[in-house]
Chain A
């Protein structure tokens, strides 16, 4: 258990550094699509929500209900986030 936690912390630290490197190269012009795109990525919680919503009889009803609500919220982020980012980026044209 502890070892897994340490591995996860390892991933966390490296990802944060990677994130800083990547995001600092995004120009100011694209900061709004960056935020909505980040919203879409934070919808990754959906992956956790799926497990909670789909466990069936293995858990009590409350956990499933919470999972279903989590699926709904996270899907709003994933679907809405990617679509609105695409819509915005489609407007950035060079003439």
Chain B
């Protein structure tokens, strides 16, 4: 097929990508949107395969088969709690693909212009940063390496020098592009190193920001690859992904009241909390908790990463159903940065069969909180910490929170009295209306469910 028809097919693909994303604006149409988007992808791939330049298909088949099997197995087998790790690896794989496409374009070109060399280098650079950064992010999420922020003296100087070396080397490379020269391999190594250096100073609680940002990079890398090989569909699709990542990054930063620069460079989680909170905690047992829940007319569950760790989403939904059958109004209030990636808690609760109209966003639940009889905090800490609102000396001051302390009664399900991920003490635990239900979240909720049934 000639280039004209291939590009016409690309127009259809682009339209389908746009429609697919548009349908993602509601859970009712989202699944069909994803299907449309995948049809767009299929059209782009089939059209490209008919291009005159493509003459040998056996190697394509080998690569596609390997990637397809890995992708399909991963998509089928991954547990919903491990979705952040999976998305991190997918980001990395997209980055690696762009790196390789940029590299292949350069080594196949006989006499590349400075522009082609520069954009191909950008594709290699962004792709490389995405690939190695994503692997570090994955390792932190999977706790293969400690998830805390890694900071060392002179880190900014080292990173600054690294960046300067890449800019100087990249400029030099654009004027004399040769992929078999030592300069090229040095730049390749520096790009991968930059990705590692960019992600190690970021602590576990900031992972939603990093994953969103790497998501954005994987799109931008595809854009750069599109410039390198003069391909418009790569640019359209790449910039849609880039925009998605940037928006999510922005939402995550706002939900933590921090600038992107602060997240990327400050090594949060390495700093120590300023204020210590003193007071007496009031523990409660499963029997009393179920009596209070039984008398409540409205209950809000506030899940955090701890719910994912305890795999408690199914028993939480079971308790929610029992309460509803009892005539209680049940909602699930979800903070934008609860969990390790944007929307993590929503997916877990959806998996547990919670109806999506019961999932309430922070801005919608807070005005209603004074009318909530019982707020049940399950494995969340910083996102419900009143110090963020009231204590100007708190390291997380200014971060919007779910105001569970405004509910009539708060149950906090917690393993022990250790402080949250950000290492900040939580005055909520010492509140007048707070009752601590110590123990494994799943076991505690199961206990309450058993009380209800018995």
Out of A1, A34, A53, A89, which one reaches B113, CB within 8 Å? A1
Cβ–Cβ contact B25 & A73, under 8 A: no
Cβ–Cβ contact B108 & A42, under 8 A: no
- List which A43-95 residues lie within 8 A (CB) of chain B: 43-60, 62-64, 66-95
Q: How far is the CB of A52 from chain B (nearest CB, A)?
A: 4
Cβ–Cβ contact B240 & A47, under 8 A: no
Out of A20, A27, A76, A78, which one reaches B41, CB within 8 Å? A78
Out of B17, B25, B93, B101, which one reaches A77, CB within 8 Å? B93
- B76 within 8 A of partner (CB): yes
- List which B52-89 residues lie within 8 A (CB) of chain A: 53-57, 59-60, 62-64, 66-68, 70-72, 74-76, 78, 80, 83, 86-87
Candidate in B100, B243, B342 with the most chain A CB atoms within 10 angstroms: B100
- Give chain B residues whose Cβ lies under 8 Å from the Cβ of A25: 22, 25
Cβ–Cβ contact A94 & B357, under 8 A: yes
Out of B66, B236, B343, which one reaches A31, CB within 8 Å? B343
Cβ–Cβ contact A69 & B100, under 8 A: yes
Given the known interface contacts A28-B361, A88-B80, A88-B350, the answer about A48 and B225 at a Cβ–Cβ threshold of 8 Å is: yes
Which of B160-168, B210-218, B395-403, B441-449 faces chain A?
B210-218
Cβ–Cβ contact B227 & A8, under 8 A: yes
Cβ–Cβ contact A40 & B38, under 8 A: yes
Q: Bound state CA distance, A50 and B251, in angstroms?
A: 35
Candidate in A2, A44, A90, A91 with the most chain B CB atoms within 10 angstroms: A44
Size of the B side of the interface (Cβ < 8 Å), in residues, is 111
Cβ–Cβ contact B108 & A32, under 8 A: no
Q: How far is the CB of B325 from chain A (nearest CB, A)?
A: 13
Size of the A side of the interface (Cβ < 8 Å), in residues, is 84
Cβ–Cβ contact B341 & A32, under 8 A: yes
Q: Bound state CA distance, A44 and B115, in angstroms?
A: 22
- B146 within 8 A of partner (CB): no
Q: How far is the CB of B104 from chain A (nearest CB, A)?
A: 4
Dominant SS among interface residues on chain A: helix
User: In this complex, what residue of B is CB-closest to A19?
Assistant: B243
Given the known interface contacts A48-B229, A51-B53, the answer about A33 and B94 at a Cβ–Cβ threshold of 8 Å is: no
Cβ–Cβ contact A89 & B31, under 8 A: yes
Given the known interface contacts A58-B53, A70-B97, the answer about A8 and B63 at a Cβ–Cβ threshold of 8 Å is: no
Cβ–Cβ contact B344 & A63, under 8 A: no
Cβ–Cβ contact A22 & B18, under 8 A: yes
Cβ–Cβ contact B90 & A89, under 8 A: no
Given the known interface contacts A39-B91, A50-B60, A51-B54, the answer about A92 and B30 at a Cβ–Cβ threshold of 8 Å is: yes
Out of B38, B72, B74, B104, which one reaches A70, CB within 8 Å? B104
6 more A-B residue pairs beyond the given contacts A16-B242, A89-B34, with a C-beta to C-beta distance below 8 A: A26-B25, A28-B251, A31-B341, A39-B87, A50-B45, A60-B108
A residues in contact (CB < 8 Å) with B: 1-2, 4-5, 8, 11-12, 15-16, 18-20, 22-60, 62-64, 66-95
Closest CB pairs A-B (n = 6): A19-B243, A75-B67, A80-B71, A31-B343, A71-B63, A79-B71
B residues in contact (CB < 8 Å) with A: 17-18, 20-22, 24-28, 30-31, 34-35, 37-38, 41, 44-45, 48-49, 51, 53-57, 59-60, 62-64, 66-68, 70-72, 74-76, 78, 80, 83, 86-87, 90-91, 93-94, 96-98, 100-101, 103-105, 107-108, 113, 115, 211-212, 215, 218-219, 221-223, 225-248, 251, 334, 336, 341-344, 346-347, 350-351, 353, 355-357, 359, 361
